[in-house]
Amino acid sequence: MKLNFLLAILIASISFFAQAEMKKYYGIASARLEPQPEVKKEGSYRVNGVNYTTRTHSDTKDYAREGTASYYHNSLTGNPTSSGEPYHPAKFTAAHKTLPLGSYALVTNLRNNRKVIVKINDRGPFIKTRLIDLSKASAQEIGMIASGTANVRVEALHVDRNGKITGAAVPTLMKNAKTPEALERISANPRDYQRVSRNDNVSDTYKVRILNIVTQKQADELLQKLVHNEKMKGKIRPNGSKFEIHLENIAGQAQVYQLKNMLSKLDKHQKLTVYTYN
């Protein structure tokens, strides 16, 4: 009895620190995002006469669906899930019929826009009209305890062996990133940046100043590579014997990160100084 009580406290503590870490990074409560083995083969199973085919990680990179979420009853506490982990109401976990076990999903309550990141560790819910079954803590986080169900959007996430985050929810995480470390964890592709730019608030624009460019030619070539959309404006200005680039109308921190990432790859022979401000 005492051992079970101490175990419950330990699990709750781990969940709290995981939540605090992700809240710091993205402002979203979350399961601890840890690297998981990539599922490369589909699987199949049968429940109540219905056949289900589970997805691979490559098949879920763009997975985003809207539907009804429910949550686990308290009586299921301690029961084994499909992954073998016991269900605990204080953890941010969920059941989904086909998303890979061990993968993650960003769940958004479409009524109030509250979000939570859950780990998929179980199969279900086996009701035709239900999309996902959330742990009690996850349901509470997005404000659906009183209603019992909620209309949600589910977007897949995966953490690779290097700790990088990919998947359909990446643009949302990029937009919500609160620290450079948060952006560093994300492995985004050009389409992700485009999605963020389209949805960014125009008032949240940034400026970047790049110093210590040796020649006018290098400045011209660098500016041409960095300015990749019609809204961004760039100018080259002399600064003593060197040159600097001023970029304006940068749509959000995600695009700032993209520019700095490009610079780190382009700046192989000279040390540039970069300032960001808004």
Tell me which DSSP letter residue 87 carries. Answer: P
Residues 6+ apart with CB under 8 A from 157: 33, 103, 104, 105, 106, 117, 165, 166, 167, 168, 169, 170, 173
Domain that includes residue 82, residue range: 2-168
pLDDT on residue 225: 82
pLDDT in tens, 191-204: 665 565 555 554 56
**Between β-strands 104-109 and 130-134, what pairing exists: parallel, antiparallel or unpaired?**
unpaired
Answer whether residue 87 is part of any domain: yes
Rounded average pLDDT over 252-262: 71
More confident residue, 273 or 73: 73
pLDDT on residue 269: 56
The verdict on 161 and 214 lying in the same domain is no
CATH of residue 46's domain is 2.40.40.10
Answer whether residue 194 is part of any domain: no
Q: Would you say residue 145 has pLDDT above 80?
A: yes
The segment with the largest mean pLDDT, out of 57-61, 75-79, 256-260, is 75-79
pLDDT interval class at 26 (50, 70, 90): confident
Q: Say what percent of the chain tops pLDDT 70.
A: 78
pLDDT on residue 52: 95
Q: Would you say residue 104 has pLDDT above 80?
A: yes
Answer whether residue 240 is part of any domain: yes
Q: Would you say residue 49 has pLDDT above 90?
A: yes
Q: Would you say residue 120 has pLDDT above 70?
A: yes
**79, 122, 207 from 129: Cα distances, Å:** 24, 18, 47
What integer best gives the mean pLDDT of the chain? Answer: 83
The verdict on 81 and 137 lying in the same domain is yes
The verdict on 204 and 258 lying in the same domain is yes
Q: Which of 168, 192, 212 is the last residue of a domain?
A: 168
**d(C-alpha 108, C-alpha 39), whole Å:** 25
CATH of residue 252's domain is 3.30.70.260
Q: Would you say residue 15 has pLDDT above 50?
A: no
Answer whether residue 239 is part of any domain: yes
Token couple for 256: 């700032």
Number of compact structural domains in the chain: 2
Detail the DSSP E strand segments found in the chain. Answer: 29-30, 43-47, 50-54, 64-71, 93-96, 104-109, 115-122, 130-134, 150-159, 165-166, 205-213, 233-239, 242-251, 273-277
